[in-house]
Amino acid sequence: MLPAAPDSATVVVESVSKAFRLPHERVHTLKERALHPFNRNRYEDLVALEDVTFTVEKGEFFGIVGRNGSGKSTLLKCVAGIYATDAGRIFLRGRMATFIELGVGFNPDLTARDNVIINAVMLGLTPDEARRRYDAVIDYSELREFEDLKLKNYSSGMYVRLAFATMIQVDADILVIDEVLAVGDASFQAKCHETLREIRSRGRTILFVTHDMASVENECDRAMLIERGQMVEIGDPDRVARSYDQLNFARGVEANREDKDRHGDGCATIVDAWFADENGERTSMIERNGGCSMHVVVELHQRVEDPVVGLAVGGQHVRWLFNTSSLEAAERSGIYEAGDRVELSVRFRVPFAPGRYDMSPWVGYSTGDRQLMDRREAFVPVTVVGDRYDAGLVQIEHEATFGRLGSSIAEVAE
């Protein structure tokens, strides 16, 4: 017999496993079955969850993160009772409201009014309570002018507004929310997060699946990282968010050594380029606000006077974040013969927000129109990990002052 759940826990998940049977071949008709009566159906088991165990205390905002296909949504559906588990148990204390899939529980051929009342009843309200709270739902969703429109004519964002507004009227003890909030517009997302903070302040428990690590760090009391159905890490949200970045961005960070996206006349070749940590070790992952260096090695194939070696750093949202070259070190770099090699090294503290970046090294002539000898686009990828304590793409070193200017009331009184 499994032990009883602790009194302080609202959600207990113990050794939960879930697998799906995927048939290799499907029999669609009786004719196919009759013609091939002895054919055996072959299956493949897809393990979605494997021995997952965690506890959520009353009033916690608990984040669940992981890459696509990691088992997050399957876990929430097991918690919500949509899927039966193959092994283990799930214990819940209190009324639960779920917001897992867009439009679940809604009938597209009914109006918003009918859907709100039906969905609220399904979530646990009485019909009278559902009717009394309808105005609060429609006002929160900001869909009053569309209340008599059938839901099949709603956009996905309007679906989110109506479903979320209905869910928060249920006064549930446990809210289970998947990443469908991302469908809504930015202003409504901000409104939802403010509402979730208010609900948490009233002692409600929230299970929240998301890919937004800023939300995890700013909103969650604890978080859990899942990968391939197994729990990788649980605890401090900042640490879990960093582990997610490492898992999500660090794959496939080998340099692009192919000749595609390469430009130049071939009189010099970029033979190597890399990022190094503050200890000088090559790395594909650097810490925000930590020490870092970038290196480019070039080999000359003919006599060149004052070659210029440079690099550019690009980001996910901005093509060029940073550019520099050997001109920062010396305007004239010297005369080099065929076979000579030169190296550009750039050291700095990492100002970039966590995410994926790349380096594009180049070498060119210092005279004339500075034609390129070689350039490698997005040649070396790198992942930045660290805390997201501000909303900017880069953190700029700066100073700020603040002080009293005086009182406008006193000036008026005089």
Q: Which residue has the tokens 């009014």?
A: 113
Contact 214/65 with Cβ under 8 angstroms? no
Q: How far apart are CA 68 and CA 243, in angstroms?
A: 15
* Domain definitions of the chain by residue range: 9-249, 262-385
SS3 of 183, please?
helix
Whole-model pTM: value is 0.68
Contact 144/135 with Cβ under 8 angstroms? no
Q: How far is CA 248 from CA 87, 164, 285, 384, in A?
A: 28, 29, 12, 11
CATH of 262-385, one of 3.40.50.2000, 3.90.1200.10, 2.70.50.60, 3.20.20.150: 2.70.50.60
Inter-residue long-range contacts of 143-150, CB under 8 Å, 24+ positions, other chains counted: 143/112, 146/112, 147/111, 147/112, 147/113, 148/111, 148/112, 148/113, 149/111, 149/112, 150/108, 150/109, 150/110, 150/111
DSSP, res 352: B
Of the candidates 297, 252, 294, 255, the one whose C-alpha atom is nearest the C-alpha of residue 277 is: 294
Q: How far apart are CA 322 and CA 340, in angstroms?
A: 28
Digitized pLDDT (tens) for each residue of the chain, 414 residues in all: 444 555 678 899 999 999 988 776 666 667 666 666 656 566 778 889 999 999 999 999 999 999 888 999 899 999 988 899 999 999 999 888 888 776 667 888 999 889 999 988 887 788 999 899 999 999 998 899 898 889 889 888 888 888 888 888 888 889 888 876 666 677 888 888 888 888 888 889 999 998 888 788 888 999 999 999 999 999 999 889 888 877 776 554 454 555 557 888 999 999 999 999 999 999 988 888 889 999 999 999 999 999 999 999 988 767 788 899 999 988 888 999 999 999 999 999 998 888 889 999 999 998 766 689 999 988 998 988 877 655 577 777 778 777 778 766 655 555
pLDDT at 197: 86
Q: Do domains 9-249 and 262-385 have the same CATH topology?
A: no
DSSP string, 312-351: EEEESS-S-SEEEEGGGT-S---EE-TT-EEEEEEEEE--
Of the candidates 364, 357, 349, the one whose C-alpha atom is nearest the C-alpha of residue 269 is: 364
- The class level of CATH for 9-249 reads alpha beta
What residue type is 181 in one-letter code?
Answer: L
